Amino acid sequence: MATTEAAKGAAGQVPASVERMLKIKLENCYGIKRFQEEIVFEANRPVVIYAPNGAMKTSFSKAFLDLANDRLSTDRVFKRRSTIREIQDATGREISKDQVFVIESYNPKFKSTKISTLLANKGLKDKYDQMYSEIDEKKEALIKELKAASGLKSGVEETLSLAIAHTERDFFKSIERVEKEVLTGKEDWLCTVRYQTVFNDKVIALLETPDFKAQLAKYMKEYDELVTQSRFFRKGIFNHNNAADIAKSLKENGFFEAKHTITMVAKTGKEEIKTEQELTNVIEKEKDAILNDPKLIKAFNDLDKKLDKNKETKEFRNYLDANKAVLVELKNLALFKEKLWIAYLIKSKAEFKSLMETYSRGKIEIEKILKVAKQEETKWKAVIDIFNERFSVPFLVTMENQEDVILKSEAPSVGFSFADPADPAIPLAENDLWAVLSNGETRALYLLNIIFEIEGRREQRLPTLFVIDDIADSFDYKNKYAIIEYLSDMAKEPLFHQIILTHNFDFFRTISSRLNIPRENKFHTAKGSTGVKLVEEKYQKNPFSHWKDHLDIDEMLIASIPFVRNLAEYCGFISHFHKLTSLLHFKADTDSITVGDLQAILKDILQDKATLVLANNSKPIKTLIYEVSEKILGETADVIELEKKIVLSIAIRLKTEEFLIREINEPAFVAGITRNQTLELIVKFRDKFPAKRDKIALVEQVNLMTPENIHINSFMYEPILDMANEHLKRLYRKVRDF
């Protein structure tokens, strides 16, 4: 599976189940420079990975998708680099492609191949198969004979059914309809006509043209006149074909050998026929007189000119030249087709009779089984119910051909209907459904196929590792929680393991809580210059809960400022709110606020910190912020914790506002700003110094990358969490040098 020879050595070894531990090594794989981790599914729970956009999420999923599809992985940009993809169990064996399923964020082309596994009632199907096994054996024997007679290599059932019952799907209905005619009929010349010679596409196209029909009508007129003038034949009653059938029947039954004679009534009188040869001679002479009549030959030659079109029609012309009797049948092609198939069945009467006897015995029992199958509620209904009940879409899902899927292993046909209190349910085909649904609704429809796949694997007891790539992205909250509920159901299946990837921190936190995922199974990604690695999530709940218990750590003390500021506003500590605002925006009193001042504010607002004692009480907070920022710059770790990112964001904004205020140099303007201070300062600077384009671009970047407010609500600090470590460090270095 892997793209290195070392990894290929384990190919073909399929573990009995998906192991609790995976060894993953990816190098130069869809933008992942290097990723090497051991993932352990602690307590058999899912592993959830928070990966900001651009970190590794999609590339990681593609590598697993390649494994599942038995494809080599590569690097789309640096194609010359050697790619490694090793995904192994604890023993070093490559995991089987059949045991990996990647749930992409959205793939409208995906169709589950496992729907039918949910529709198979084994008891019914076994009984059905048993009833049909003997029928199928007899049918195949008949089909073999029909192929030989017709010249068709395939499609015999459908072609016969279409000719007799006018539908391709009713073979047994067709042969039942002509059963009496076949069993009582006699073999005649029609069974020698090759269906494929007459009824191929190019010949049929020619026969249907107005010119050919006109020439054929002319031929038939001449033929009918000659039959009317015949000594023995009578139009519409007794022609040369009927006569040949009678001659054959008399011979087979020893009529002439028993010294019997027949009397033929001619227009010139009666003639006694005493031998088989005399009868044959009379018939052939009369037939030749008709078919070799100059007028009829001329009419045939006129037809012949129409047949010189292509290889197929030329072959048909040669065939007609030797079998002119076929021309008479061409005036009604539909009837001719039916007569040919009846003739073939009569020729294979023994096989036909054997099949019909077997089919008749089993038909009543099969009809009982079909009736039960139509009413059967197999596991597919549970899937349909999951979708219809949990997901918010404007349509209902049904299964259209349940009995055929259960008994005949046909591909399932899913139906959709729109319901409205004022109108009856309106069914729609799936292709039409895509055209009327919103983006969110089409994504929900995609989930239906995903659920079929998952439940099919559950039914097959197939151990599976699911790699789930932001499956809830772009869904509304109702459907997002329906997805979480279903992922929770999956987590209860011992044979399933999940790696859930998301760039949405709120979804990461929600699914961690709802699926009761242990600390050891929750990761953030850290992307550095050498590759990507997983780091265990540091904060299990609200980070502020952790920070306020560690306010003696400078980074956590500073990171707590915006949170405490919000509490001050909510709880009515207005003076404290303004003081803390001066630590997030550069104000007239920013330089004078000390650690001691902050300590007093914290004691007032955080009731459980009444005994709080901080070091360096006289140090200005602004100085502390810059000192801690410099310390963070010197750290080489791939990961910067959230509190350090907040420190850098605060420092960047303070440095920027100091610069802007100094450059603008209008104290009255600055003092008059009551809200959105950073933006107001940038607008003023841009208007006053339009030529300083580099500085304008830099301060606008600051405004984009450092949010104005960081609330207790986790939604509000997600942008900082998503911010790449190096981006913040680089930005701080730039504003530090203003």
Which tokens belong to 268? Answer: 């010139």
Amino acid sitting at position 527 = K
Lowest mean per-residue pLDDT among 102-116, 241-255, 645-659, 674-688 = 241-255
Given a cut of 70, whether residue 268 has pLDDT beyond it is: no
Q: Tell me, what's the pLDDT at 430?
A: 62
Which whole-number Å values give the CA distances from 281 to 291, 413, 516, 675, in the listed order? 15, 62, 97, 118
DSSP state of 607: G
Give the separation between CA 332 and CA 53, rounded to whole angstroms. Answer: 70
Specify the CATH number of the domain 1-114+460-537: 3.40.50.300
Lowest mean per-residue pLDDT among 108-122, 220-234, 272-286, 634-648 = 220-234
Mean pLDDT across 698-702: 90
pLDDT level of residue 715 (50, 70, 90 thresholds): very low
Which tokens belong to 680? Answer: 């107001």
pLDDT level of residue 121 (50, 70, 90 thresholds): low
Mean pLDDT across 665-683: 93
- What DSSP letter does each residue of 303-370 carry, written as one string? HHHHT-SSHHHHHHHHHHHH-THHHHHTT-HHHHHHHHHHHHHHHTHHHHHHHHHHHHHHHHHHHHHH
Phi-psi region of 92 (alpha: psi -120 to 50; beta: other; left: phi over 0): left
Amino acid sitting at position 229 = Q
Which tokens belong to 516? Answer: 């009761």
Give this prediction's pTM. Answer: 0.59
Among residues 643, 565, 654, 655, the alpha carbon closest in space to that of 604 is found at 565
Which tokens belong to 349? Answer: 């009467």
- What DSSP letter does each residue of 34-84 carry, written as one string? EEEEEEE-GGG--EEEE--TTSSHHHHHHHHHHHHTT-----SS-TTSPPE
Given a cut of 80, whether residue 393 has pLDDT beyond it is: no
Residue 612 near residue 551 (C-beta atoms within 8 A): yes
Q: Tell me, what's the pLDDT at 521?
A: 94
Give the separation between CA 337 and CA 339, rounded to whole angstroms. Answer: 5
Q: What pLDDT digit, counting tens, does each position of 542-569 carry?
A: 788 889 999 999 999 999 999 899 899 9
pLDDT level of residue 446 (50, 70, 90 thresholds): confident
Residue 415 near residue 399 (C-beta atoms within 8 A): yes
Give backbone dihedrals phi and psi of 256, rounded to 5 degrees, phi first.
-75, -30
Domain boundaries, the chain: 1-114+460-537, 123-193+347-372, 195-322, 377-457, 543-736
Q: Tell me, what's the pLDDT at 338?
A: 92
Given a cut of 50, whether residue 13 has pLDDT beyond it is: no
When the pLDDT of each residue in the chain is averaged and rounded to a whole number, the result is 81
Give the separation between CA 28 and CA 83, rounded to whole angstroms. Answer: 5
| Radius of gyration in angstroms for the set of CA atoms belonging to the chain, rounded to a whole number | 43
Which tokens belong to 3? Answer: 């793209």
DSSP state of 620: B
Matching residue, tokens 């700003």: 673
Which tokens belong to 30? Answer: 């869809």
Higher pLDDT, 363 or 149: 149
Q: Tell me, what's the pLDDT at 1?
A: 34
Which tokens belong to 448? Answer: 């239906």
User: E strand or H helix at 703, and its extent?
Assistant: helix 693-705
Give the separation between CA 32 and CA 62, rounded to whole angstroms. Answer: 11
Name, in order, each residue with C-beta under 8 angstroms of 172's C-beta and a sequence gap of 6 or more.
359
Give the separation between CA 719 and CA 726, rounded to whole angstroms. Answer: 15
Among residues 144, 204, 169, the alpha carbon closest in space to that of 408 is found at 169
Q: What pLDDT digit, counting tens, does each position of 526-545 carry?
A: 887 788 999 888 765 678 88
Given a cut of 90, whether residue 49 has pLDDT beyond it is: yes
Q: Tell me, what's the pLDDT at 212?
A: 72
Given a cut of 60, whether residue 456 has pLDDT beyond it is: yes
Mean pLDDT across 577-602: 96
CA angle centred on 548, ends 547 and 553, rounded to 5°:
60
Question: 3-class SS at 212?
Answer: helix
CA 389 to chain centre: 21
pLDDT level of residue 234 (50, 70, 90 thresholds): low
Mean pLDDT across 277-293: 70
Phi-psi region of 310 (alpha: psi -120 to 50; beta: other; left: phi over 0): beta
Mean pLDDT across 689-718: 75
Q: What pLDDT digit, counting tens, does each position of 308-341 carry?
A: 666 777 777 677 767 767 777 877 888 989 999 9
CA 735 to chain centre: 49
The percent of residues above 90 in pLDDT, for the chain, comes to 38
Amino acid sitting at position 316 = F
Given a cut of 90, whether residue 719 has pLDDT beyond it is: no
Q: Tell me, what's the pLDDT at 223?
A: 63
**In the structure, how many helices (H) and strands (E) does the chain have?**
33, 14
The percent of residues above 70 in pLDDT, for the chain, comes to 77
Q: Tell me, what's the pLDDT at 376?
A: 59
Mean pLDDT across 185-212: 81
Mean pLDDT across 637-659: 88
pLDDT level of residue 183 (50, 70, 90 thresholds): very high
Q: What pLDDT digit, counting tens, does each position of 340-351 carry?
A: 999 999 999 999
Give the separation between CA 154 and CA 175, rounded to whole angstroms. Answer: 18
CA angle centred on 236, ends 232 and 269, rounded to 5°:
20
Mean pLDDT across 142-155: 92
DSSP state of 638: S
